[in-house]
Chain A
Amino acid sequence: MAAKRKTVTRADHDRLFFSRWVLFLLAANEAAGLPEVSRQRLHALLFMSFASSRYYSIEPLRQRARRTPQGPYYRNAHLALGGLVLGCMVSVEDFKAHPAPRDLQFEGVFRPTLKGLEVARTMRATVTGSRLYRFLLDMCLASAYATDPRRGDIVATPEPGTTREGILLDNILEEDLTYRRAMKRYGDILELQDSPDEQTPTVEGLSSIEESLEQQGAYNRKDVVAAYQTLLMRRSARAA
């Protein structure tokens, strides 16, 4: 007798999409040579990627994040990360259990493994996969460009256990226009948009940069994203 067909539920899809997004983000971070990803930075990177993905015509996986003292938090991203770690696609260093009432969280430093890179490469073979990876790689390359010491007009003094690039990257993530607007509001939810037909402040910012660059010459979306992050970094330096 033929096995009973089971449908893949919406929740299953959601979990799979999260795993792909998280794995691609870690692979792109590695490919761009950015500092290693802590749990906190991973969620902040996810927030900025969701806030800007529509600029690349990619639907974000989430419209809101939970507000925690360490920044934005996505429950599903954490579950995806756990799955990737157990599947030996992501390695963990400095593991620290961090039991939270609603989620079993853990802290650590995360990097893709060789197996993880190979899986990511396979998943990039699809049209959606390659578009998504391209976007995330552009975002990470933009951070590498903005924080490049050779372009350094901004000083950061790293404390033990941190790097100059790491501090600057965290500053960029904190200054993201969408994140700033969400943080100004009350409640334990960080929203990307006020209404479905409105663009996120990040996408608006990127579009205004694109408009202003168009008058100067030919640029790619990657250059626009890099310019955006450079401006955020300067804002943060001015506020300090």
Chain B
Amino acid sequence: MSDQTQPAERASSPLAETVQMFMKNHAAVVALVVLTCIVIGAVVGPFVYPNDPFDMVWAPFSPPGEEGYIFGTDYLGRDLAAMIVHGAQVSLTIGLAAAFMSVFIGITIGALAGFYRGWVEEVLMRFTEFFQVLPTLLFSMVIVALFGASLVTVTIAIGAVSWTAVARITRAEFLRIRELEYVMASRSAGAGNLKLMFGVILPNAAPPIIVQAALMVGTAILFEAGLSFLGLTDPNVVSWGQIIGSNRQYILDAQWTVTIPGLAIFVTVLAISLVGDGLNDALNPKLRQR
């Protein structure tokens, strides 16, 4: 009875194993803690620190610490700390929304191309390549310039240029997994195409897509910063990139007006990347083990 000697162990789910693997990557754990603090700060910050970021509160170019304004004031005498706190929400929201959008588009296109092959794949991949060769910053600037600078158009502009990587990864995973025996086994048990695509193949293709999505949040934040640095952003909301952009002429006189929001972006994106890296470690070896 060699195949029955295994003890009836308590089943540990793939999720539990992933968490276990993630905990082994210390940098990622630290980054996750930092990221959690940033997110909590972005959510509750405006309530804890309700100063209006557009109010002129003190003399322009006051260095950090003066008059209790811990980050000082910018060229219009606005409270930099309030701008950072309020801007966090905007930067993170745009980052998440744009990443979500590009993951959604990327998975749909990549899944259809990888699953159906043939002319569907040809058409969709040429379409993807078309977007890949567009200069991304220029293209998103065109979108924002054409449709006006609002949070929604900025999000769409970022999402529209960054989904190609997800589409290619999804397609590659689908091409690999669709040939595996359990897909044929599911088909022979009566599963339809939709079920095969999203119920069978996609969950198995998820790990690299999750990692890519996490990293994409970081790049989307950077992208948003880049656009708002160029002034292509909603002037009625503060975002980190916009703070840098509006203060850039005064970098020699008041370096903190650029340094502090720059550091905020740096720390956030670094934390996201490290978490993405940790996810990569956590999700990949398990695949090998199987």
A-B complex is real: no
